[in-house]
Amino acid sequence: MAKDLKVDENNLSHAQVLIRTAKGNIVFKLYPKEAPNTVTRFIALVQSGFYDGLKFHRVHPNFLIQMGDPSGTGKGGSGEKLKAEFNKLQHIKGTVAMARKPEDEDSADSQFYITLTTLAHLDGNYTVFGQVIEGLDVLDNITLNDKVITISLQL
């Protein structure tokens, strides 16, 4: 069952997430007002080191890159579902959103994707919780099975 988390009001609207890869760094801002539970869960996973060393298990040029599955197959996660927080944010290049099973709106867990182009058909169907502000060029250089060195939160 998907959980509803308490929102930590630490002025997260100014927080940034740094993804370090061998191809370069990606920095994105968070949207705690639009997706409070998702941002809270994501930060908890980041701070626990959950994402460190994981690979990009799904890479589709001119579409998206996806990671967050410790098994590397696209079928795993942290083991805790998260309720969807669909919002009005659009899927433009660099949008960060939670992956989920198409048939279950509340099946998001730890996997997330970053768009490589505008994907308007995803708008309102996935929980958008961030936007890349640095490293858009790095996104296009990520290839299948590239690893994340670390993901960290910068307040």
The 3-state secondary structure of 96-152, one letter per residue: EEECCCCCCCCCECCCEEEECCCCHHHCCCCCEEEEEEECHHHHCCCCCCCEEEEEE
- Residue 95 confidence (pLDDT): 99
Characterize 102-123 residue by residue with b for buried, 16 or more Cβ atoms within 10 angstroms of its Cβ, and e for exposed.
Answer: eeeeebbbbbbbbbbeebeebb
Neighbours of 41 (CB within 10 A): 22
- Residue 6 confidence (pLDDT): 42
Here the tokens at position 108 are 């998001």
CA gap 85, 43 in Å, rounded: 16
- Residue 155 confidence (pLDDT): 79
- Residue 151 confidence (pLDDT): 98
Of the candidates 102, 119, 105, 20, the residue with the CA atom closest to the CA atom of residue 67: 20
- Residue 11 confidence (pLDDT): 64
Low pLDDT (below 50) residues in the chain:
1-7, 9
- Residue 133 confidence (pLDDT): 98
- Residue 7 confidence (pLDDT): 42
pTM exceeding the 0.85 threshold for the entire prediction:
yes
- Residue 15 confidence (pLDDT): 87
Instruction: Give the chain's radius of gyration (CA, Å).
Output: 14
Cβ-Cβ contacts under 8 Å for 28 (sequence gap 6 or more):
16, 17, 19, 94, 96, 114, 130, 131, 132, 133
C-beta of residue 96 within 8 angstroms of C-beta of residue 104: no
C-beta of residue 43 within 8 angstroms of C-beta of residue 32: no
- Residue 3 confidence (pLDDT): 43
The full set of domains in the chain, from first to last, is: 13-154 (2.40.100.10)
Neighbours of 43 (CB within 10 A): 18
